[in-house]
Structure 1
Amino acid sequence: MTGWVALLRAVNVGGNNKIPMAELAALATRLGLGQARTYIASGNLIFASERGEDELRAMLEDAIAAEWGKAIGVLVRSAAELADLAARNPWPDRPGNRVVTLFTDAPPTLEGVRHQAGEVLMLGQREIFIDYGDGMASSKLVVPATRTGTARNMNTVVKLAELAGSIS
């Protein structure tokens, strides 16, 4: 079995798109995904499956729409891909809560980025790394890839890689 992580886009943020994490894990189990569990309330589902990424994404998006009546984007990464991504963090000495990975399914681009001040951005393979310097609270940074992608801070990425990597 392969360990996988599904990253749900824009759930449980500011009271929008509420999806209870225990119910999400139960849904994944009903879909036949093994060892399903969630990590924190921001839409991170860890599970085991022999299915491929595209099939998993479509299956989860369809099931979430049927269960909660919401079109929620889902990005799927294998445990190995997340571990590799964590190892490629361009700023490993920066606090993990100030370095963010913006996951994308399309090739990443910095086209259209606006209001960049102290933030530093670097393209990855299927992600954009963002160092928010002094933090995100006062940032005005606009990255168009956020419309279809989803972001997690590096602390969360490392933990998700660890959890998915422990699946046997």
Structure 2
Amino acid sequence: MTRFIILLRGINVSGKNKLPMADLRQLLNDLEFQNVQTYIQSGNIILDSDKSKSEVCQKIKDGIASKFGYDVPVISRTISEWKKVIKNYPFPTENEKIVAFTFLDKKTVAQEIEIKNQGEDQFKVVDDLVYLYCPNGFGKSKITNNLFERKLKVTATTRNLRTTLKLIELAEKE
């Protein structure tokens, strides 16, 4: 069995794609995943499976579409991949409110992209991840999931430092 951290894109955002976490956990249990946990309302899941990452993502995607009628992108990482993400963060981390990680559904060949009017915001693309540092806060940033999806031709979902750290903490508990 492998423990996965699963991220759903666009769940319970601005009243759109409402998906109660209790209902999601029940669906995942019905799909025969093991040790299912969710964290906050924005589509963060921890579970165990003997399937591959791509099979896990597809099974969850199909299950949500079938039961709730939502076409939701699903991205997964193993615990070791998640730890590597945190360890390799290239920017300062003293202020957790301006640190984030954009998880991509696949590796991208483009490591450099041009973003106009990004101000002081910084980012670094590495394989299937974008490290973000937004000193003026994310609310004012031009660096968004939609921008990365358009420029890199991927599906993207972002989590702040606090959520990223909490997910690994939960995933490492037995």
TM-score normalized by structure 2? Answer: 0.88
| Structure 1 alignment gaps of length 5 or more | none
1:117 aligns with 2:119: yes
1:129 counterpart = 2:165: no
Counterpart-to-counterpart distance in 2, 1:48 and 1:82? 15
Find the counterpart in structure 2 of residue 105 from structure 1. Answer: 105
Q: Give SS of 1:60's match.
A: helix
Q: Which residue of 2 aligns with 1:145?
A: 148
| 1:93 and 2:93 correspond | yes
SS in 2 for 1:97: helix
Structure 2 match to 1:79: 79
The CA RMSD over aligned residues, in Å, is: 1.7
Match of 2:172 in 1: 165
Q: Could you tell me which of 158, 161, 166 is aligned with 1:154?
A: 161
Higher helix share: 2
User: Does the 8 Å CA contact 1:101/1:130 hold for their aligned counterparts?
Assistant: yes
Deviation at 1:122, TM superposition (A): 0.9
Give the residue type in structure 2 aligned to 1:159: K
Q: CA deviation at 1:89?
A: 1.4
CA distance, structure 2, for counterparts of residue 141 and residue 97 of structure 1: 15
Runs of 4+ in 1 over 4 A off after TM superposition: none
Distance 1:67 1:155, change over 3 A: same
Q: Deviations over 1:104-147 (max 9, x none)?
A: 02324443533311101112231001101121122233562246
Alignment check: 8 A CA contact 1:119 1:133 kept: yes
**Among the aligned pairs, what percent are the same residue?**
31
Gaps spanning 5+ residues in structure 2: where?
none
CA contact (8 A) 2:93 2:99 kept: no
Residue 154 of structure 1 and its aligned partner are, at CA, apart by: 1.4
Partner of 1:14: 14
Distance 1:118 1:140 in 2: 10
